Amino acid sequence: MRAEVLFAEAKWRPCLQSLDRAALKLAEGVGASRVKVNPSHFRYSATCLAALGDYDRALEEIDRAEAALADRQKAGYRADYFLSATLPALKAQILMAKGDYGSAAECALEVARREPQVLVSMGASRSIHTATRWALQWERGCDLLMSVEQPANLDLNRVYDRVLPYRGLLFRMVARDAKLRRANLSDDDRRIYREYRDKQMAVARLAFEAELAEGPRKQELQDAVGEAERRRNELELRLRQRNLSWIDKGDAVPCSGQVLKNQLAEGEVLLDFVEYCHHSWDPERPGVEGHRAEERYRVYIVAPHTELQSIELGTCAEIDALIDGWRKEVQSGAGVECGWKLSRKLWHPVRSRLPKKTQRLLVAPAGKIALVSWAALPDRRPEVPLLDRFELTYLPYPGYLVEQRTSLEESPNPPHCLAVGNLEYGSRQGMELAEVRRGDFRASLRDIAPLPGTQRELDAIARYWSRGSIECLSGKQVTVSRLSKSLRRSQFVHIATHGILASDESIRAFRRLRRDRPWGRPPFVAGVRNPLSLMALALSNVCRPNSIDESVLLAEEVA
């Protein structure tokens, strides 16, 4: 009893000493060398050791507690359900504090799979979300948020603020890698940049651990945070001196639901679509056997001066089938039946929730919703498109809005505009089915028709652009190399060309791996961990033989 009082008062060392005395006293009676009074005392001991920074011994105590519970069950004792359910969650938190983020994520997500309510009741979700992020399991953390926290009737704003860091995290990482490839850095520059990124991660990790720690360990971690920050600032200064600070531009812009609302003007509404794996549990079949995973779409509606709203739209399979059907209808001119069904599924639930004076929609798509032409999507009637009623803007992820508007406000230089159109695609006759880096798009290429009308777009942009310099590219010479150089120095970009989606098999592989391994860490395979490699833009000479490496611009390179 005394140990429990000391534990409640967060007196970790006295609590450990009390537990040891109780164990030795019991050992004298039963002839054992050391034994705890009951399995729950192992949990007390593990928590105390973790608070004091002795993570290895804390994990050993967790293992002993689980072994003791197993022995009790074999002996016919009634198992302590709460203890058996919370021990793995506690183990995940200790692994997180230790810095073993991969194991922490695996452990925590396994708990979520079996006993999701334990995570919420223990308040352990923050540690688990952080573990999934450090373990590079962003989709898993987002799935956990959407499936566990939101149905638990927690504050919607808090859930969305936790979802937002996952939105665009992979996009920013891929964009940064693409910038590094284009920069042609020296070995010394790469070493400095790599150390700078490591220090950034170290600062965030140590700050989180310091927040969880108590006593002397907390002060020790805070000192380590200060030292890591000083080194990070030194490296950042060196990057600026070498004119390399542009690589991380926009990475550190904070984003939350309230920040997004502040960036939206009157009449603007952000539609943030999220594709996630919804996990549910059958109450009549507890544990792993009752677990079900299903890909779904959800949309968050963000508007100034109104409450955040969220709508469950349905399964990815159903909506994706409607998107494919509508695209085929448009290509063949067969009608608008699928388009009208898609509008009723995607748009009508949203339309009824919009503020009355909405004039502009900012759409941040996810999954195959990125293939939807919102301008042509039917509104109230099949023959009336959304473009007749709203202005439309597309965002790769919600935080992009904050990053761009913030950078434009801070930039002292006039912006540069890049306009691309009226490309010559060449002829597809004689195309060789070569195995090349972008050969995944080979099967998706059709006879690409020229777009002469896009020249009028370029002329209009050049005529009305007055804020800074402008560069217009057209014809045969718009290659990946040339366009990449121009993209780097442009703040505004207009590219009028055909979009290409990777072969159906690649997309199916992406879906399959995500569905079949919902809790494991999938291998890093192009098009599996990085959906941006499944989409591309057609550039000059795309239909000429052996030209695909320089005529197909991947979405990750546009980033």
Residue 290: pLDDT band by 50, 70, 90 thresholds? low
Q: What is the pLDDT of residues 516-557, one digit of tens each?
A: 443 333 333 333 334 555 677 888 887 776 555 677 777 666
In whole angstroms, what is the distance from residue 180 CA to residue 189 CA? 10
- pLDDT for 32 equals 46
> Is the per-residue pLDDT at 126 higher than 60?
no
Task: State both tokens at 492.
Answer: 């505004």
User: What pLDDT is recorded for position 519?
Assistant: 35
Q: What is the pLDDT of residue 131?
A: 44
- Asked if residue 209 lies in contact with residue 221, where contact means CB atoms within 8 angstroms, the answer is yes
Same domain, 482 and 504: yes
Q: Is residue 162 part of a domain?
A: no
Say if strands 535-538 and 499-501 run parallel, antiparallel, or are unpaired.
antiparallel
- pLDDT confidence tier of residue 40, bands split at 50, 70 and 90: low
Residue 465 lies in a domain: yes
Are 81 and 115 members of one domain? yes
The answer to whether residue 97 sits within a structural domain is: yes
- Among 305-309, 340-344, 364-368, 403-407, the range scoring the smallest mean pLDDT is 403-407
Residue at token pair 């009676």:
29
Q: Does 120 have pLDDT greater than 80?
A: no
The average confidence (pLDDT) of the chain is 72
What is the pLDDT, as a whole number, of residue 47?
Answer: 78
- How many folded domains does the chain comprise? 4
Q: How confident is the model at residue 163 (pLDDT cuts 50, 70, 90)?
A: confident
Based on the domain organization, do 337 and 391 belong to the same domain?
yes
Please indicate, yes or no, if residue 145 is contained in any of the structural domains. Answer: no
Residue finishing a domain among 400, 423, 441: 400
Last residue of a domain, one of 100, 117, 133: 133
Residue 196 shares a structural domain with residue 269: no
Give CA–CA dist 540/481, Å, rounded. 12
Other CB atoms within a 10 A radius of the CB of residue 537 amount to: 23
Does residue 111 register a pLDDT over 80? no
Pick 95 or 439 by higher pLDDT: 95
Q: How far apart are CA 96 and CA 50, in angstroms?
A: 11
- The reply to whether 534 falls in a domain is yes
* Domain-located, residue 510: yes
Are 439 and 545 in the same domain? yes
Residue 366 within a domain = yes
Question: Torsions phi, psi of 501, nearest 5?
Answer: -105, 145
Helices (H), 477-524: 480-488, 504-516
- Same domain? 391 vs 455: no
Secondary structure of 399-414 in HEC code, one letter for each residue? HHHHHHHHHHHHCCCC
Q: Tell which wins on pLDDT, 111 or 309.
A: 309
Counting residues of the chain whose pLDDT is more than 70, the rounded percentage is: 59
Whether 417 and 546 map to the same domain: the answer is yes
Model pLDDT for residues 273-289, shown as the tens digit of each residue: 988 777 666 667 655 56
Q: Is the pLDDT of residue 513 over 60?
A: no
pLDDT exceeds 50 at position 514: no
Q: Which residues contact 117 (CB under 8 A, 6 or more apart)?
A: 152
Same domain flag for 368 and 292: yes
Write b or e for each residue in 360-392: b if 16 or more Cβ atoms lie within 10 A of its Cβ, otherwise e.
ebbbbbbbbbbebebeebbbeeeeebbeeebee
> What are the two backbone dihedrals, phi and then psi, of residue 549, each rounded to the nearest 5 degrees?
-65, -30
C-alpha 419/C-alpha 462 separation (Å) is 8
> Is residue 240 within 8 Å of residue 264, measured between CB atoms?
no
Q: Which residue pairs from 35-40 have beta carbons closer than 8 angstroms and sit at least 24 positions apart in sequence?
A: 36/64, 36/68, 38/68, 39/65, 39/68, 39/69, 39/72, 39/80, 39/83, 40/65, 40/80, 40/83
Q: Are 312 and 345 in contact (CB under 8 A)?
A: no
Mean per-residue pLDDT, 148-152: 51
pLDDT, one tens digit per residue, over 349-402 is 999 999 988 999 999 988 888 888 888 899 888 888 888 888 888 888 888 888
Distance in angstroms (rounded) separating the CA atoms of residues 105 and 99: 11
Question: Does 552 lie in the same domain as 423?
Answer: yes
Position with higher pLDDT, 44 vs 548? 44
Stretch 329-355: mean pLDDT: 88
pLDDT score for 413: 72
What is the spatial distance between Cα 486 and Cα 475, in angstroms, rounded to a whole number? 16
Global pTM reads 0.59
The mean pLDDT value for 208-234 works out to: 79
196: exposed, middle or buried (C-beta count within 10 Å: 0-12, 13-18, 19+)? buried
Around Cβ 30, how many Cβ atoms within 10 Å?
7
Domain annotation covers residue 471: yes
Last residue of some domain: 133, 164, 194? 133
* Residue range 221-244: mean pLDDT, rounded: 84
Write down the pLDDT at residue 318: 93
Q: Residue 233: give the domain boundaries.
A: 186-243
Contact 544, 138 (CB under 8 A): no
d(CA 426, CA 548): 12
Q: pLDDT grade, residue 205 (50/70/90)?
A: low
Digit-coded pLDDT (tens) for 238-279: 877 877 665 665 454 567 888 899 889 899 999 999 887 776
The confidence band for 419, taking pLDDT boundaries of 50, 70 and 90, is very high
Phi/psi of residue 34, nearest 5 degrees: -160, 130
Confidence of residue 136 (pLDDT cuts 50, 70, 90): very low
Query: What is the pLDDT confidence band of residue 434, given thresholds at 50, 70 and 90?
Result: very low
What is the SS3 assignment for 261? helix
